[in-house]
A = this chain, B = another copy of it.
Protein backbone atom coordinates (compact mmCIF):
# COMPACT_ATOMS: atom_id res chain seq x y z
CA UNK A 1 0.00 0.00 0.00
CA UNK A 2 1.20 3.47 -0.83
CA UNK A 3 1.94 5.84 2.02
CA UNK A 4 1.41 9.52 2.45
CA UNK A 5 4.82 10.83 3.50
CA UNK A 6 5.90 14.38 4.24
CA UNK A 7 8.28 14.18 1.30
CA UNK A 8 5.64 13.09 -1.18
CA UNK A 9 3.24 15.70 0.11
CA UNK A 10 5.87 18.41 -0.28
CA UNK A 11 6.61 17.43 -3.88
CA UNK A 12 2.93 17.38 -4.78
CA UNK A 13 2.51 20.73 -3.07
CA UNK A 14 5.37 22.33 -4.99
CA UNK A 15 4.12 21.14 -8.37
CA UNK A 16 0.57 22.28 -7.69
CA UNK A 17 1.62 25.79 -6.77
CA UNK A 18 3.71 26.35 -9.89
CA UNK A 19 2.28 27.74 -13.12
CA UNK A 20 5.04 26.31 -15.30
CA UNK A 21 6.60 22.85 -15.27
CA UNK A 22 9.67 22.32 -13.05
CA UNK A 23 12.83 20.26 -13.42
CA UNK A 24 13.72 17.66 -10.78
CA UNK A 25 16.34 20.00 -9.35
CA UNK A 26 13.90 22.91 -9.16
CA UNK A 27 11.44 20.63 -7.41
CA UNK A 28 14.12 19.55 -4.95
CA UNK A 29 15.06 23.15 -4.17
CA UNK A 30 11.46 24.22 -3.66
CA UNK A 31 10.46 21.13 -1.70
CA UNK A 32 13.47 21.47 0.61
CA UNK A 33 11.82 24.62 1.93
CA UNK A 34 9.14 22.29 3.25
CA UNK A 35 11.25 19.23 4.14
CA UNK A 36 14.81 20.29 4.83
CA UNK A 37 16.65 16.97 4.55
CA UNK A 38 14.90 15.88 1.33
CA UNK A 39 17.24 14.12 -1.10
CA UNK A 40 17.36 14.19 -4.87
CA UNK A 41 16.86 10.42 -5.15
CA UNK A 42 13.60 10.75 -3.26
CA UNK A 43 12.47 13.42 -5.68
CA UNK A 44 13.21 11.15 -8.65
CA UNK A 45 11.50 8.18 -7.02
CA UNK A 46 8.42 10.21 -6.22
CA UNK A 47 8.28 11.82 -9.64
CA UNK A 48 8.13 8.36 -11.14
CA UNK A 49 5.37 7.27 -8.76
CA UNK A 50 3.32 10.43 -9.23
CA UNK A 51 3.75 10.02 -12.97
CA UNK A 52 2.58 6.40 -12.88
CA UNK A 53 -0.40 7.20 -10.73
CA UNK A 54 -1.33 9.98 -13.17
CA UNK A 55 -0.89 12.94 -10.85
CA UNK A 56 1.96 14.38 -12.93
CA UNK A 57 2.64 14.84 -16.60
CA UNK A 58 6.16 14.88 -18.02
CA UNK A 59 6.98 17.86 -20.20
CA UNK A 60 9.91 17.18 -22.46
CA UNK A 61 11.50 20.27 -23.91
CA UNK A 62 13.89 19.16 -26.62
CA UNK A 63 17.39 20.02 -25.50
CA UNK A 64 16.60 20.53 -21.83
CA UNK A 65 15.96 18.49 -18.67
CA UNK A 66 12.56 16.91 -18.35
CA UNK A 67 10.04 18.94 -16.41
CA UNK A 68 6.91 18.01 -14.52
CA UNK A 69 3.54 19.66 -14.26
CA UNK A 70 0.24 18.70 -12.72
CA UNK A 71 -1.68 16.35 -15.00
CA UNK A 72 -5.17 16.99 -16.34
CA UNK A 73 -4.65 20.46 -17.72
CA UNK A 74 -5.90 19.51 -21.18
CA UNK A 75 -3.95 19.52 -24.42
CA UNK A 76 -1.50 22.40 -24.58
CA UNK A 77 2.08 23.13 -25.54
CA UNK A 78 5.04 25.10 -24.22
CA UNK A 79 7.27 28.04 -24.96
CA UNK A 80 10.90 27.95 -23.89
CA UNK A 81 12.50 31.37 -23.32
CA UNK A 82 16.18 31.53 -24.26
CA UNK A 83 16.73 34.65 -22.21
CA UNK A 84 15.37 33.60 -18.81
CA UNK A 85 15.30 29.82 -19.33
CA UNK A 86 11.70 29.54 -18.16
CA UNK A 87 8.97 27.47 -19.72
CA UNK A 88 5.53 28.94 -20.38
CA UNK A 89 2.26 27.23 -21.12
CA UNK A 90 0.77 27.86 -24.55
CA UNK A 91 -2.96 27.17 -24.49
CA UNK A 92 -4.71 25.16 -27.16
CA UNK A 93 -3.60 23.59 -30.41
CA UNK A 94 -4.52 23.66 -34.11
CA UNK A 95 -6.22 20.68 -35.77
CA UNK A 96 -4.23 21.37 -38.97
CA UNK A 97 -1.17 20.03 -37.18
CA UNK A 98 -2.47 16.50 -37.49
CA UNK A 99 -2.83 16.71 -41.26
CA UNK A 100 0.95 16.67 -41.57
CA UNK A 101 1.25 12.98 -40.74
CA UNK A 102 1.14 10.90 -43.94
CA UNK A 103 -1.40 8.15 -44.45
CA UNK A 104 -0.31 4.81 -43.03
CA UNK A 105 1.24 6.27 -39.89
CA UNK A 106 -0.69 5.94 -36.66
CA UNK A 107 -0.18 9.08 -34.64
CA UNK A 108 -0.77 8.74 -30.92
CA UNK A 109 0.16 12.26 -29.81
CA UNK A 110 2.46 15.12 -30.62
CA UNK A 111 4.68 17.61 -28.84
CA UNK A 112 5.02 21.17 -30.02
CA UNK A 113 7.58 23.48 -28.47
CA UNK A 114 8.21 27.12 -29.29
CA UNK A 115 11.54 28.84 -28.68
CA UNK A 116 12.33 32.52 -28.39
CA UNK A 117 11.86 35.37 -25.90
CA UNK A 118 8.94 35.39 -23.52
CA UNK A 119 6.82 38.53 -23.15
CA UNK A 120 8.85 39.84 -20.22
CA UNK A 121 12.22 39.28 -21.84
CA UNK A 122 10.99 40.60 -25.19
CA UNK A 123 10.14 43.88 -23.45
CA UNK A 124 13.64 44.15 -22.05
CA UNK A 125 15.11 43.52 -25.46
CA UNK A 126 12.86 46.19 -26.97
CA UNK A 127 13.82 48.72 -24.29
CA UNK A 128 17.51 48.12 -24.74
CA UNK A 129 17.48 48.49 -28.50
CA UNK A 130 14.83 51.22 -28.30
CA UNK A 131 16.96 53.36 -25.97
CA UNK A 132 20.02 52.74 -28.07
CA UNK A 133 18.17 53.86 -31.17
CA UNK A 134 16.42 56.98 -29.84
CA UNK A 135 19.01 58.44 -27.54
Contact = CB atoms under 8 A, between A and B. Distances in A.
A105 B126 CA distance: 12
Contacts of A63: 58, 60, 66
A112 B115 contact: no
A96 interface: yes
A105 B93 contact: no
Tell me what chain A mostly uses at the interface: helix, strand, loop, or mixed. mixed
A114 B97 CA distance: 10
A132 interface: no
B105 A115 contact: no
Interface of A: 58, 60-63, 66, 77, 79, 82, 88, 90-94, 96-97, 99-102, 104-119, 122-123, 125
